[in-house]
């Protein structure tokens, strides 16, 4: 199968460490933002979003035709697991467009507790080949973030 050559408008995806930055990114043209809640996101130095700001941020982005992807890309330990389903259900109910995960167990929980959100696979998963990308696709991933060290040729091979 030959790779289709279509021209697509690039998506401008911006980080949003708090509600002020989310609004700024959306106001200046971001198509989507990614952010973390108070738990389960790897950006520990960022302010991150409490429940109320998550709700307000998703509403603001959607009113302005932008998507919101929530990072849930930590490797949760056993003691954290009981809190994860409720967090995912909350994101689902708030209308998060996607959840970015790196842990296979978390990915399974995303599919179960946040079925309205797309599953995106985090760069932390280290995807360097087409078999891994295909396996994540088969698990329901709508988007995978490839390892940053790949060459353009390697990315092209994975895409094909």
- Report pLDDT digits (tens) over 52-94: 999 999 999 999 999 999 999 889 899 999 999 999 999 999 9
CA-closest candidate to residue 75, choices 37, 35, 39, 32 = 39
- Report pLDDT digits (tens) over 4-48: 566 678 889 999 989 999 999 999 999 999 998 877 777 666 678
Identify the bridge partners of residue 36 per DSSP, sorted by sequence position: 71
pTM: 0.87
């Amino acid at each position: 199968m030959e790779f289709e050559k279509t021209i697509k408008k690039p998506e401008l995806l911006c980080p949003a460490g708090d509600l002020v930055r989310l609004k700024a990114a959306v106001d200046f043209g971001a198509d989507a933002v990614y952010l973390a809640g108070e738990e389960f996101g790897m950006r520990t130095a960022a302010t991150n979003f409490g429940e109320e700001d998550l709700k307000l941020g998703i509403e603001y982005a959607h009113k302005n035709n932008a998507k919101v992807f929530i990072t849930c890309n930590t490797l949760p330990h056993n003691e954290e697991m009981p809190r994860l389903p409720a967090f995912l259900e909350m994101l689902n109910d708030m209308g998060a467009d996607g959840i970015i995960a790196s842990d296979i167990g978390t990915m399974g929980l995303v599919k179960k507790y946040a079925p309205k959100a797309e599953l995106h696979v985090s760069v932390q998963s280290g995807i360097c080949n087409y078999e891994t990308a295909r396996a994540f696709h088969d698990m329901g991933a709508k988007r995978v973030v490839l390892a940053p060290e790949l060459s353009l040729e390697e990315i092209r091979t994975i895409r094909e």
